[in-house]
Amino acid sequence: MRGLNYTFAETADAAVTQFAEAGGSARYIAGGTNIYDLMKLGIERPAHLIDVSRIEGLDAIETDGDVLRFGGRALMADVARAPVVRDEYPVLAESLLKAASQQLRNMATVGGNLLQRTRCMYFRNGAGSSTTVGVYLCNKREPGSGCAALGGLDRTQAVLGTSEACTAVAPGDWPVALAAMDATIEVFGPEGTRNIPIADFYLLPGDTPHREFNINPGELVTAITVRKTPAGRTSTYHKIRDRESYAFALASAAVAVEMDGDAVRTARIALGGVATTPWRASAAERVVVGSSLTPELALEAGHAAFTEARPGQHNAFKVELGARVIADALIIAAQRRV
Amino acid sequence: MTDHGCNNETSSGVTRRTVLGVSAGVTAASLVPLRLDAQEQVPVPGPENGPTTHISFQVNGERVTIDVDGRASLLDLLRERLALTGTKKGCDHGQCGACTVHLDGRPVSSCLTMAAKVDGRQVTTIEGLARGDELHPMQQAFIDNDALQCGYCTPGQIMSAVACVTQGQATDPGAIREFMSGNICRCGAYVGILAAIAQAAETMEG
């Protein structure tokens, strides 16, 4: 790791100004749980870190009015235990509480978590750090170099949204819940403020897998907003892992429904652990809307989400697992109606 | 409720840490900083060769003012500059929990906490739990329940365990296991750890 300047920004304006003054190799740091890890792996090599974790007001959790608004540097632990989130939006609270460990949730921010990078082991290993193992090609790390995951140990790789250049899984849980809830991401940068629907925030790998987020250099995630909906109460984040806690998802589903008796009036379904971005499963939603929810229909919806799946050598199990995660999540969510 | 969550008093006289520091110092006198006077944290001049940041913070109730390399972790600051080697480096990537300390009373992984971040804040390490010769109830509970084998993960386990109780999460075995899932024990002493936390939850509340 090379030496770097570490400075604090007291305001979002100051952060953006510092970023511009530092030239190309500056990065913002909030909790640091991802970028510092990537620096140790030799993947991120900033010459200047601008600490945005002290910006006044950027940690606000506002629940009045028509929207929930989470400041970009609000801690994952604090958002998860905000009373409105805990009681009325279990899909949001559970996605946070089933992520990482209590230590990391005390450090990591809800804005930074949106930008968490993949756990693909070929991406993480091979950048030349002394603590990594082997040297692997990765189009995300070194554009155009190739992808060692194709035909490699691909058990944890994506089956949806993949390309010939990249099969790396989007790692987050919180972004999956936000995708189901149609959240909006507010960023602030040299050109002012932009509000980006989460559906437009994550980029499919295509032939440019190094471009992951719809965010420009110098832009800072200042807030996340979620429009309030009664579907929040009838929701869940269902996550299946190799061990029961403190692991990334093999498959997960964020589900929120509005029920009319046994019939599903509206459904929001998003998938994690199986796709290259937080993955809205519209095909699954169409299967259940307007029908009585039965275990059979729920599983049919799950399968509908994977008709386009392209598994590799060792991850075909994710197709059936993912379908069943959706099915179980639908039943869990529907049972939460008051 | 007695507050055992964070004890800022420092011990005086010879401690286990001092003895270990001295014996290690015999073979590596120039490398191992001796901490004979626990009343005062004397930072070791660092081999820092990158741009530094001037920070001032409290560790176990003692004020520390120091220039840290911009790349440094809180873990390395504690171990290499302040001779607080109770906090352990396991994976150095936030995956094992061995380096858990409290920052402003909340557990964090010190390996992924950049040292510059602790400016103006309070850090409590495993060395800050006991009151003189009187162990923290959680430390005693770990001994009583054989909650360790090799002991390397134990300081991190205890720091998380204290927070598990003070945050009201030690309500049942399932809740304890979930809260403690960020602390890995390679020896598999989980049964003892669970029992220790359940025991300490009662004594800490007493």
Q: Where are the domains of chain B?
A: 16-128, 137-205
Helices (H) and strands (E) in chain A, counts: 12, 12
The per-residue DSSP string of A104-139 comes to HHTT-BHHHHHTPPP--HHHHS-SS-TTS-S----T
DSSP code for B43:
P
Q: Does any CB of chain A come closer than 8 Å to the CB of residue B114?
A: yes
Q: What is the helix, strand, coil percentage profile of chain B, to 5?
A: 35, 15, 50
Give the nearest chain A residue to B50 (CA atoms). A3
Contacts B104 to A, Cβ<8 Å:
none
User: By three-state DSSP, how is residue A213 classified?
Assistant: strand
pLDDT > 50? residue B23? no
Q: Give B155→chain A minimum CA distance, Å.
A: 14
> CB A103 to CB B182 under 8 A?
yes
A32 contacts on B by Cβ (under 8 Å)? 112-114, 117
Average pLDDT over residues B75-99: 97
Place of tokens 């959680």: B138
**Phi and psi, residue A246, nearest 5°:** 55, 55
Residues of A in contact with B106 (CB under 8 A): 77, 106
**pLDDT at position A130:** 75
8 Å CB contact of A107 and B113:
yes
Distance CA B137, CA B152 (A): 19
Whether chain A has a CB inside 8 Å of the CB on B168: the answer is no
- Chain A residues interacting with chain B (CB cutoff of 8 angstroms): 1-6, 8, 29, 32-33, 36-37, 39-40, 49, 51, 53, 77, 100-104, 106-107, 131, 244-246
Partner residue opposite A102 with nearest CB, options B107, B112, B114: B107
Average pLDDT for chain B? 84
| Disruptive mutation site among B112, B158, B179 for chain A (greatest number of A CBs within 10 Å) | B112
Look at the domain B137-205 and name its fold: DNA polymerase; domain 1 (1.10.150)
Is residue B12 over pLDDT 50?
A: no
User: Looking at beta carbons, which residues of chain A come within 8 Å of B113?
Assistant: 32, 107
For B50-71, what is each residue's pLDDT tens digit?
899 999 999 999 999 999 999 9
Please judge whether A36 and B73 are an interchain contact, meaning their C-beta atoms are less than 8 angstroms apart.
Answer: yes
Residue of B205 and A219 predicted with greater confidence: A219
Query: Which of B102, B109, B141, B135 has the alpha carbon at shortest distance from B6?
Result: B102
Determine whether the interchain pair B182/A100 forms a contact, defined as Cβ–Cβ distance below 8 Å: yes
CB-based contact, B67 to chain A, within 8 Å: no
Q: Do A104 and B94 touch (CB under 8 A)?
A: yes
Rg of the Cα atoms in chain B: 17
Q: CB-based contact (8 Å) between B97 and chain A?
A: yes
Question: Is B94 in contact with A39 (Cβ distance < 8 A)?
Answer: no
Q: What is the dotted CATH code of the domain comprising B16-128?
A: 3.10.20.30
Domains in chain A: boundaries:
5-54, 231-334
Residues of B in contact with A104 (CB under 8 A): 94, 109, 112, 182
CB contact under 8 Å between A40 and B93, yes or no, is: yes
Mutation choice for A interface testing from B67, B99, B117 by most A CBs within 10 A: B117
Does an H or E element contain B89, and which?
none
- Tell me the CATH class for A231-334: alpha beta
Cross-chain residue pair B53–A6, CB shorter than 8 Å: yes
Question: What pLDDT is stored for residue B154 in this prediction?
Answer: 98
The alpha carbon of residue A246 is apart from the nearest alpha carbon of chain B, in Å, by 6
Residue B202, pLDDT score: 95
| Cα separation of the two ends of chain B | 6
Chain B environment of A54 (Cβ under 8 Å):
none
Cα distance between residue A271 and residue B155, in whole Å: 37
Amino acid letter, A336: R
Please state which of the four CATH numbers 3.40.1010.10, 1.10.3210.10, 3.30.43.10, 3.40.718.10 is assigned to the domain occupying A5-54.
3.30.43.10
For helices B154-166 and B137-144, the axis angle rounded to 10 degrees is 120
Q: In this complex, is the C-beta atom of B190 within 8 Å of any C-beta atom belonging to chain A?
A: no
List per-residue pLDDT tens for chain A, 338 residues long: 889 999 999 999 999 999 999 988 999 999 999 999 999 999 999 999 999 999 999 999 999 999 999 999 999 999 999 999 999 999 999 999 999 999 999 999 999 999 999 999 999 998 877 777 778 999 999 999 999 999 999 999 999 999 999 999 999 999 999 999 999 999 999 999 999 999 999 999 999 999 999 999 999 999 999 999 999 999 999 999 999 999 999 999 999 999 999 999 999 999 999 999 999 999 999 999 999 999 999 999 999 999 999 999 999 999 999 999 999 999 999 999 86
Q: Based on C-alpha coordinates, what's the Rg of chain A?
A: 20
- Are B106 and A37 in contact (CB < 8 Å)? no
What is the least distance, in Å, from the CA of B115 to any CA of chain A? Answer: 10
pLDDT of residue B33: 42
Report whether A71 contacts A54 (CB < 8 A). no
Rounded to a whole number of angstroms, the distance from the CA of B78 to the nearest CA of chain A is 17
Question: Which amino acid, residue B50?
Answer: G
Mutate to test the interface with A, among B95, B110, B114 (most CBs of A within 10 A): B114
In B, which residues are within 8 Å of A245 by CB distance? 177-178, 181
| B178 contacts A37? CB cut-off 8 A | no
* Cβ-contact A44, A127 below 8 angstroms: no
Pairing verdict, β B122-124 and B52-59: parallel
**Structure confidence by residue, pLDDT tens digits, B31-48:** 334 444 444 566 666 556
